[in-house]
Structure 1
């Protein structure tokens, strides 16, 4: 009887120890603060499908910057509520591991070349940057 109780105790103790070992490292590590860079472009010629396609082509090439973890190129959705901004032509949303990775992107030759080659297409750009809390 004593062996069975001891074995049960050891099994439960090992399980509790394993749970603690799994939980502690994630709490001990600093939390990664994902950085989102969201850009909205208003084209000089908003009715030009060719200009929109050219900008999308440029953004597709820009997605090759290695610090970008995920990218999304979009156009205004068909949703229609008073709080929704639909005046832009194209949006460009990027996810980075942290602010430092986004700063590398800003100075990267691919990004600088994109601005040089495509900035003639837009009349206005608004950027929303957000850091995970």
Structure 2
């Protein structure tokens, strides 16, 4: 393949124009500006990732705290239910005891009234 290096060939003019554009961009600092903006963007992304990591850690700590509080509340509820059962059993035993005493008193009541009626003849 033979390539013509004359200035009449359009490829040469495209190459020269490209070199001029690149030289102007380097002279004006376009690549530095692009690099700087890319660095700023990378820093912003890094900062957002750090913030997201911090928020995630805080959320995990908060979740652990709520789970711990829930476990404590469940344990407290179990102890309250257990205490209520114990109290109910105690009250049932006391009620049976009171009922037994009342039955005993009622059964012995006629025996107690008979001697009293002998002493008080005016009451019938």
TM-score over 0.5 (shorter chain): no
TM-score (norm 1): 0.29
Larger radius of gyration: 2
Greater share of residues in helix? 2
Higher relative contact order (CA 8 A, sep 6+): 1
Greater share of residues in strand? 1
TM-score (norm 2): 0.31
